[in-house]
Chain A
Amino acid sequence: MKVISQNEIKIDSTLAEEVAKRSGENVFLCYQCRKCASGCPSRSFMDSTPTELMRYVQLGMADEAMKGNTAWFCVSCQTCSTRCPQDIDIAHVIDTLRIIVQEKKIKAETNNIRLFNRIWMIAMKYIGRMYEAGLVGSLNFLTLRPFKDMALGVKMIKKGKIKMIPPIRNPLPTMKMFSRAKGLKK
């Protein structure tokens, strides 16, 4: 058996502290019961389970926590947060990891969600409301799959469910909100 001295064992809690500071969630409460992983509808698509993701954050394994696709396959269904026996809002922890990735412009397998978020947030800032045709159109165009869901889109337009013209509103109130929020972050 190899004997190692105590100062060789180090846990880097920087990531866990950052998550706690931003979200108020303490990942060290997680005792790995796997209830979150068993209830996760998206589990089969993920590189690691939500339980493993919590462990990565506890151990400060930032690359494993943020560069893989696990956080980005979270559908925000809130099942894990609802069932966690330690009352950790796991979906909030995952949101926080995604926010860190986006703010620090970390390269990650984001399933185009980074782009989806950016387009929608722009619509909110300048229109104040969602503009479906613009979101779907620009998302498909920028991800180089311009004809994705074309048949479905045509059906929806025919049924009068998607408007081609964006809602026309005074953009100033939301633009001011976004700029004051930006000022606060600086």
Chain B
Amino acid sequence: MKIGYYPGCSLHSTGIEYDLSTRKVCDALGVELAEVSEWVCCGSSPAHQCDELMSIALPAQNMVLAQSDGLKEICAPCASCYSRLKIAKERLKDVAMKKDVEHVLAAECPQDMEILHILDVIMEKVGLDAVAEKVVQSLSGVKVACYYGCLMTRPPKMTGKRDFENPQEMESVMAALGAEPLDWNLKTFCCGASFALTKTEVVLELTKKILADAAAVEADVIAVGCPLCHANLDGRQPQINEKFSTDFNIPIMYFTELMGLAFGVKPKELGLFKHLTDVDDFLRERALI
């Protein structure tokens, strides 16, 4: 199965582990990821709040590029890219918007490009049975708090997700790997996203709440599907501990990294040593590396 792959800017930098593990997992599941050639930034955090037209035109340009590569689906593992692509697809149904965007791109926008998060690819295109079949090292006994953040599910009018307040897809993938997904409160609460660079205190406050809730249910690890959530939860723990006198040291892993481990991929190939909150102790304790 061949699917268009839109890594986006983060997966080429701060979210490099997500790129590495997504590629390895897809490889193991027989999904061929074809990177959209000459892709451009989707507009992410800034475009929608300063330039409405470009916030639709930039994702649309990537759909045009994907179509000229002969692709019918785009998989965007970054929740922000996924959201911008989904929203652009919806907004392009407006005739006036489509006309303006096509003028900006000097190209015709594809109507039926399917936009998928990597979790959608696994759930809808691969299936849980195929995931379970690939497991060589069960994650049994590992208690996972699955964290979706905002944009993997919201707004449901754009994403088409049904269980947007209490999603369960990541949990079912974790269960297929043998892990124990936990019931917890803040799985769709915001981490503060790009405010990390402008108003860091917002991120520290919100991220602290998420970490505290995961700690309250005794999670061994928080699984994520967004590079911005990862950067905030993984990278800000020392600052949070200092500010709020806490002692969080919770491993934050992309759900694809956990899948890769269960599939027997070498930790280094998954980028597991690139985390800022070490995962080594946790993985050694569980004899997973």
Chain A residues within 8 Å of B, Cβ to Cβ? 22-24, 41-42, 44-45, 73, 75-79, 81-82, 89, 91, 95-96, 98-99, 102, 111-114, 116-118, 120-121, 123-124, 128-130, 132, 135-136, 139, 148-149, 152, 155-156, 159-163, 167, 169, 173-174, 176-178, 180-181, 184-185
Is B40 an interface position by the 8 A CB rule? yes
Collect the chain A residues with CB atoms within 8 Å of residue B189's CB: 41
Nearest-CB residue, chain B, relative to A177: B104
**Complex contact B192–A112 (CB within 8 A):** no
Contact residues in B for A96 (Cβ distance below 8 Å): 52
Query: Which residues of chain A are near B195, meaning CB under 8 Å?
Result: 75
* A121 and B51 within 8 A (CB): yes
Please tell me if the beta carbons of A156 and B198 are within 8 angstroms of each other in the complex.
no
Which residues from chain B contact A149 at a C-beta distance below 8 Å?
200
B91 to chain A, nearest CB (A): 9
Cβ A82 vs Cβ B155 within 8 A: yes
Residue from the set B16, B51, B189, B200 with the largest chain A CB neighbour count within 10 Å: B51
Whether the Cβ atoms of A116 and B197 lie closer than 8 Å is yes
7 further interface pairs, Cβ-Cβ under 8 Å (given A124-B40, A132-B13, A155-B235): A42-B190, A99-B49, A117-B46, A124-B41, A130-B10, A177-B54, A181-B57
B235 touches A181 (CB 8 A): no
Interface of A is mostly: helix
Contacts of A77 in B (CB 8 A): 150, 154, 190, 193
Is B40 within 8 A of A173, CB to CB? yes
Instruction: Give bound CA distance, A1 to B106, whole Å.
Output: 64
State the Cβ distance, A77 to closest chain B Cβ, in Å: 4
Kindly supply a per-residue 1/0 record for chain B positions 99-133, scoring 1 wherever the CB is within 8 Å of any chain A CB and 0 otherwise.
01001111000000000000000000000000000
- From B41, B52, B198, B276, give the contact of A128 (CB < 8 A): B41
What are 25 residue pairs bridging A and B, where the CB atoms are less than 8 Å apart in the complex? A42-B190, A76-B193, A77-B193, A78-B150, A89-B155, A99-B50, A99-B51, A112-B198, A116-B46, A116-B194, A120-B45, A124-B58, A130-B10, A130-B13, A132-B9, A132-B14, A152-B235, A152-B236, A155-B235, A160-B274, A161-B16, A163-B13, A177-B58, A180-B103, A181-B51
CB of B199 within 8 A of CB of A129, answer no
